[in-house]
Structure 1
């Protein structure tokens, strides 16, 4: 009878041994350095020291982990490239402005031509017509309201 009870006990101990062996084959360790999260085909591993994320799976001949591309690294690379390009463009712009002839303050003045006599006559005619219409309108208003304005 003791033999029948020891068989299930041996099975449980064997299963615990297999479970601990499979847990040891996962890429976990180094005093809690990695945090593992189960996914469909394996685990996602976060390196708590570097922030690197990897996907790990059992490829049949052992566990392999592949680093997940980091968008932040790509953004940092692009920012660095744009900063270098910006500095290059600033340098080019400064070089062009040094080559361009510098004008004296007196040479920068904008000259506006005076109106011709014909333009002045047209303007005076327009003002006279507007004044005449205004006076006529004031006269009509006084007549319509009997001089009470």
Structure 2
């Protein structure tokens, strides 16, 4: 065997170092699961494992079932809250637009109404036809105290009968006939 000169030996050493570095890096990259390079953060919980995806920000609960491990995403309340905030902001903008368009309220007004009885008919003039009998206002009288007493008496009797009937049913069920 012939002795190696220094340039050939240094070249071989550099090539071997490069091959080990690249090959070792590939092996490490292929064999390392996502949890080892920091993508997932695992925390044990009573139901299994809580998994946080540090890239996407999603949280999942992983548990063992008959077929193996299964991970289910935990509902993200922040997404629901953001959606509700967006909906409310859109509604506020819509209401602001309606308010800026002008008043559409048909309720109370600031000016007082004229002091005239709108229910009274004005005196018919010669050129106006007579008002038909069907246009009169119908008045419904309120019940008198006597009517109210009769209604209350009826309700009291009905209530007592209902309570008596419930007591009889309870006695029948308990066997104290």
TM-score by length of 1: 0.44
* Structure showing the higher helix proportion among its residues: 1
Higher relative contact order (CA 8 A, sep 6+): 1
TM-score by length of 2: 0.37
